[in-house]
A = this chain, B = another copy of it.
Amino acid sequence: MKNCHTDSAEVNVIDELENDFLRDVAEFFKVFGDVTRIRILQSLLTGEKNVTELADLLDISQSAISHQLRVLRQNNLVKYRKEGKTVFYSLDDEHVQTILEQGMVHIRHKRGYAE
């Protein structure tokens, strides 16, 4: 007799789904786990910016910025808007902002940075 928790084949299926899910969660956090991307995201907290602006502001090559923006795009952390030749990026939703700010608050408290 089987129930929804002890049948081994069924549990394996569930485990696989769970593992896929956790893999995605890890991938999601991984995107926040890079200084360049964090700096980009933090810059976008104050509003949309184009690629050149970001490169100048952060003193990082246009190429590096562009590569990282692609990662951010692919993971839906930013959205963009084209206007002529320039592309303006901004944070995708408040979820992103919330998580970013949570992390910043955590480190600020932990390391005792001035508020």
Going nearest first, the 8 A-B pairs with the smallest beta carbon separation are: A30-B33, A29-B32, A33-B33, A29-B33, A26-B38, A26-B35, A24-B107, A25-B107
The size class of the interface chain A forms with chain B is 20 to 34
Oligomer copy total: 2
- Decide if A35 touches B23 in the complex (CB within 8 Å): yes
Least distance between A102 CB and chain B CB atoms (Å)? 6
- Decide if B103 touches A21 in the complex (CB within 8 Å): no
Q: Tell me the dominant secondary structure on chain A's binding face.
A: helix
| Chain A residues within CB distance 8 Å of chain B | 19, 21-35, 37-39, 42, 76, 95, 98-99, 102-104, 106-108, 110-111, 113
In the bound complex, CA of A37 to CA of B104 (Å): 20
